[in-house]
Chain A
Amino acid sequence: MTPDHLLAGMLLGALVLYVLTGGADYGAGVWTLLARGKHGHLHRALIDRSIAPIWEANHVWLILIVTILFAGFPRAFALISTALHLPLTALLVAIVLRGSAFVFRTHDAKPRTDQDASQVFWRYVFAGSSVLAPLMLGTIIGAIASGRLSRRLPSFFDLFVAPWFGVFPLFVGCFTLALFVFLAAIYLIFETRDHRLQDDFRLRALVLWMVVSSLGAIILLLSRSGAPDIYDGLLHTNGGLIILGLTSIAGLLSLAGLMFRWFSTARAAAAVQVTLIVLGWAFSQYPYLVVPDVKLPEAAAPLPILRLLIWSLLIGGLVLFPSLYYLYRLFKSHALFTPPPANEANCPSSDILSENAARHDKKAGTM
């Protein structure tokens, strides 16, 4: 494998990890918006507790992706950041608002009630920006795949709006959002021992499974005119058909896992499903980094730089992955390293305790 392909592969790997971790953090933020009804406050507490120790680390994948892109494939970076200036700016605003709103909410000087005006305000900012960021991220990816970046009529609309403002890119945005929300719902099942909350998120994951599947099918149809490379790559090559087939099997497995409460299977299948979707995009777009302007291997930086980057990533990985493992081991052992939570009867849970505490507070308040 040539260095440019290897580095592009690493870029893709980082993107998959970002989607599986950081993506789910956005999805969790969206669930904050939809946390209503009598368990609403429990959902929000669960979501906050689940993402608090890890979201910043998960977010760094994005920064790593950007640096690999501009170091290894500078032309792609320059082209993307010029033609997609507007959605990238919207993505950045969403990233800033989401991170800030989350810390303002969870690191206040003194405990506040869930209904405190500032809590409610920051919750909406957090949730709203968690919706906007995946939408923009998906739109950007859809635009890169669609070959719209190279339209060069000298008008503002053609140079800076048309590249991303189209049915296909915007649908990819919605699809990305749905994927992230789906992943988050499945992950959240593992974050609690409270059966009511597990059931809530199981039901939500099932609904999102339907949304993801429908959007996936629609995008495949739309790609025929919207991104012909993707359509041909997936439907008219053996490799593409295999990836499509495997994605469907993983999708059915995650559905079965949710229906029959094989939660570990459901989670693993969902992660595989999402990974395959990203790989399918990359596979069908190959050898283009940006359709149809930037292509491997011409777009790559000089060879010594590629080698240096690959070695840096490999050596950096020796520090990074053990550190990440340690982080997850410390804070996610209940979700990742212990047996699945399914069908444990009457396990006393911190969520029930906290609900009791909340009730108690309420009573105290009315007295």
Chain B
Amino acid sequence: MSDLLAARSQMAMSLGFHIIFAVIGVAMPLMMTVAEWRWTRTGDPAYLALARRWAKGAAILFAVGAVSGTVLSFELGLLWPRFMEWAGPIIGPLFALEGFAFFTEAIFLGIYLYGWHHLRPALHIAAGAVVTASGVTSAVVVTAANAWMNTPAGFESADGFPRNIQPWTVMTNPHALHESLHMVLAAFAATGLLVAGIHAVLILRGAHDNFHRHALAIALLVGGIPTLLQPLSGDALTKAVAAHQPAKLAAMEALFHTAQGASFHLGGLPDEESQSVLYALEIPRALSLLLYLDPQATVVGLDRTPRQDWPPVAVVHVAFQIMVGAGLVMMILVLWAAWRWKQGRLYVDRTLLWCLTLGAPLGLLAIECGWVVTEVGRQPWIIYEIMRTSEAVTPMPGIVVPFILFTLLYGLLALIVVWTLWRHIAATERPDPLSGSPRAPALPGGEVNVG
């Protein structure tokens, strides 16, 4: 494995690991806050129990997200020192903003998790709302920095270093809004459906009380609305990619040859050697229609990009198709659930509950694939058409060693997190022996249970 490939793999693995915790850290606080707010409105103790139980899970996920995020901020320099030396002043202010947003998030999460007895409910809910708002802000700012790598703007390149940097133009680079919106919607959609799936399986296992019903309803609401909005945001982002990164778009759609009235490839495996797509279902003119609302429009293919500047076509195309497919299945699930909910049969439709369970990981899968499309699709550039990834990599040899080290570390952590959360989930199935009432948490969220 070359050092460049090892560095890219380590970055991909670190991002792929962190993003799961990051999106849950963005969306979970909203769900806890909504549950607690419903408790103050209805007085139903199941809502309070739910807020506390979710808060306990969120505490673990948030901590792992915080430390793996720290790793990423250092890895920017550890793996790509020349990129950071060049682009640090350009994207640095965005990261500084993210630093503050993250600070606010960590402070108010501490207040939320440990402040059940210190704060009036209204203030406690407000703390949860601040956590949500700062989580969304972090996501927007960091994604805007990534968008700048795709559509660099707001500087002049002279004698090897950027000059005349215009921070506002950097922050509002052409993809900033599209990418950020897509990411924030994805965070809520993926987390909502993940949590809905978990509570669906518990209802299937016989838990027919308010705790799991409320949980399912809130999770489907928080995840469902963004799921339905996501195609619009995805459409806008794809059009922006077509406008600014034709090679990435061509790889996403496996379009080797520029064509008027380009057809859409459903599925399929692109072969770069023969410049063809195997096993794909071709829908004539559909790509032109989707992108430009004109079946005769010209779509630029990979043939307009020099061969050495192609991204890995097969990876990008397959990841893109999986992302879109997962999103579509999620939409169907949400619409189906909404229909059954209107009929009052959401909690008893076992087929639906089974499908929700099976669909639980789809959002996270779509997010991982989406990042593959963004990052692999930008290759061989680290800053699109400005700096190559190979120019940015550290001179340190043997990067495969830290790559393996972090892979093992994160693999182990993932197993432990899943196991620990499973214990939390299993705990909601057993009645609490102290209070006699089922599913009431024995201790307020976050209190230390040792000694």
CB distance from B147 to the nearest CB of A (A): 17
The dominant DSSP class at the B interface is helix
Are A358 and B420 in contact, with the CB atoms below 8 A? no
Query: Are A96 and B104 touching (Cβ within 8 A)?
Result: no
Q: Which of A88-124 contact B (CB under 8 A)?
A: 88-89, 91-93, 95-100, 102-112, 114, 119
Task: Choose among B71, B395, B406 the residue that contacts A159 (Cβ–Cβ < 8 A).
Answer: B395
Q: Which of A100, A105, A312 contacts B413 (CB 8 A)?
A: A100
Least Cβ–Cβ distance between A22 and chain B, in angstroms: 11
Let me know if A80 is at the binding interface, CB within 8 A. yes
Q: List 14 A-B contacts (CB under 8 A).
A: A48-B448, A70-B76, A70-B95, A78-B82, A78-B84, A78-B88, A96-B68, A99-B67, A100-B413, A109-B426, A309-B92, A312-B96, A330-B115, A331-B118
Inter-chain CA distance A63–B98, complex, in Å, is: 10
Minimum CB–CB distance from A324 to chain B (whole Å) comes to 6
Minimum CB–CB distance from A233 to chain B (whole Å) comes to 27
Which residues of B lie under 8 Å from residue A106 when comparing CB positions? Answer: 448-450
* Contact A78 to B77, CB < 8 A, known contacts A57-B103, A71-B88, A103-B60: yes
Given A45-B451, A60-B106, A63-B102, 8 further pairs, Cβ under 8 A:
A57-B103, A70-B92, A78-B85, A95-B67, A96-B67, A97-B409, A107-B446, A331-B114
Given the known inter-chain contacts A45-B451, A64-B103, A107-B56, please indicate yes or no for A327 contacting B86, CB distance below 8 A: no
With A63-B69, A74-B84 as given contacts, are A41 and B451 in contact (CB-CB < 8 Å)? yes
* A142 sits at the interface (CB 8 A): no
CB-CB under 8 A from A91, the residues of chain B are: 74
Decide yes or no whether B305 CB sits under 8 A from chain A. Answer: no
Q: When A81-B74, A305-B89 are in contact, do A70 and B84 touch as well, CB less than 8 Å?
A: yes
Task: Give the distance in Å from the alpha carbon of A107 to the alpha carbon of B448 in the complex.
Answer: 7
Which size bracket describes the interface of B in this complex?
35 or more
CB <8 Å contact, B93 and A71 = yes
A308 close to chain B: CB less than 8 A = yes
Verify if B350 is at the interface (C-beta below 8 Å from A): no
List of A residues within 8 angstroms of B406 by Cβ: 93
With the chains together, A72 CA to B89 CA distance in Å? 6
Chain A 49-77 near chain B by CB (<8 Å), digits 1 or 0 = 10011101101101110111011101101
Q: Is B37 an interface residue (CB 8 A)?
A: no
What is the distance, in angstroms, from A211's C-beta to the closest C-beta of chain B?
A: 28
Q: Which residues of A are found within 8 Å of B397, using beta-carbon distances?
A: 156
Contact A105 B450 (CB under 8 A): yes
Q: A93-B409, A301-B88, A309-B92 are in contact. Are A67 and B99 (CB under 8 A)?
A: yes
**B104–A77 CB distance below 8 A:** no
A156 to B396, CA, bound (A): 8
A93 CB contact (under 8 Å) in B91, B107, B405 = B405
Let me know if B449 and A111 touch, CB within 8 A.
yes
Query: Contact partner of B73 among A52, A66, A110, A114, CB < 8 A?
Result: A66
The answer to whether B232 has its CB under 8 Å from any CB of chain A is: no
Once the chains are docked, how many angstroms separate the CA of A159 from the CA of B111? 45
**Residue of B97, B103, B442 ringed by the most chain A CB atoms within 10 A:** B103
Q: Are A77 and B114 in contact (CB under 8 A)?
A: no
Nearest-neighbour CB distance to chain A for B153, whole angstroms, equals 15
Question: For residue B450, which residues in chain A have a CB less than 8 angstroms away from its CB?
Answer: 41, 44-45, 48, 105-106, 111-112, 114, 119
Does B1 sit within 8 A of A, measured CB to CB? no
Q: Is the CB of B59 within 8 A of A82?
A: no
Q: Mark B407-451, 1 if CB is under 8 A from A, else 0.
A: 001000100110010011011000000000000001100101111
| B93, A305: Cβ atoms closer than 8 Å | yes
Cα–Cα, bound, A67→B74 (Å): 9
Chain B residue contacts of A74, Cβ below 8 A: 84-89, 92
Least Cβ distance of B384 to chain A in Å? Answer: 20
B448 near A108 with CB under 8 A, answer no
Instruction: Tell me which residues across on chain B come within 8 A of A80, comparing CB atoms.
Output: 77
The reply on B163 being an interface residue by CB < 8 A is yes
Q: Contact: A323 with B92, CB < 8 Å?
A: no
Known contacts A78-B84, A88-B74, A119-B450; is-contact A320 B110 (Cβ 8 Å): no
Question: In the bound complex, what is the Cα–Cα distance between A309 and B109 (angstroms)?
Answer: 26
Q: Determine how close the nearest CB of chain A comes to the CB of B219; give it in whole angstroms.
A: 20
**Once bound together, how far apart are the Cα atoms of A354 and B449, in whole Å?**
11
CB proximity of A364 to chain B, nearest CB, Å: 15
Q: Is B96's CB under 8 angstroms from A64's CB?
A: yes
Report Cα–Cα, A95/B73, bound state, in Å. 13
**Cβ–Cβ < 8 Å partners of A41 in chain B:** 450-451
Q: A60-B99, A93-B409 known; A160 and B89 CB under 8 Å?
A: no
Residues in chain B near residue A59, CB distance under 8 A? 66-67, 70, 106
Instruction: List 3 A-B pairs, minimum CB-CB distance, nearest first.
Output: A71-B92, A81-B77, A74-B88
Cα separation A114 to B426 with both chains bound (whole Å): 22
Residue of A nearest to B92 (CB): A71
Q: Which residues of A contact B427 (CB under 8 A)?
A: 109-110
CA–CA, A62 and B451, complex, Å: 31
- Closest chain B residue, CB of each to CB of A73: B88
Q: Does A42 contact B (CB under 8 A)?
A: yes
A118-143 contacts to B (CB < 8 Å): 119
Q: Does A37 contact B (CB under 8 A)?
A: no
Chain B residue nearest in CB terms to A56: B106
**Do A82 and B396 touch (CB < 8 A)?**
yes
Q: Is B188 an interface residue (CB 8 A)?
A: no
B-chain residues with CB within 8 Å of residue A70 when the two chains form the complex: 76-77, 84, 88, 92, 95
Contacts of B443 in A (CB 8 A): 111
Say yes or no for B295: interface residue by CB 8 A criterion. no
Given A100-B413, A110-B427, CB of A323 within 8 Å of CB of B104: yes
Name B100's contact: one of A44, A45, A320, A327 (CB within 8 Å).
A320
Closest to B85 in A: A78
Q: Which residues of A contact B423 (CB under 8 A)?
A: 108-110
**Contacting pair B77 A313 (CB below 8 A):** no
Q: Does A367 lie at the interface of the complex (its beta carbon under 8 Å from any beta carbon of B)? A: no
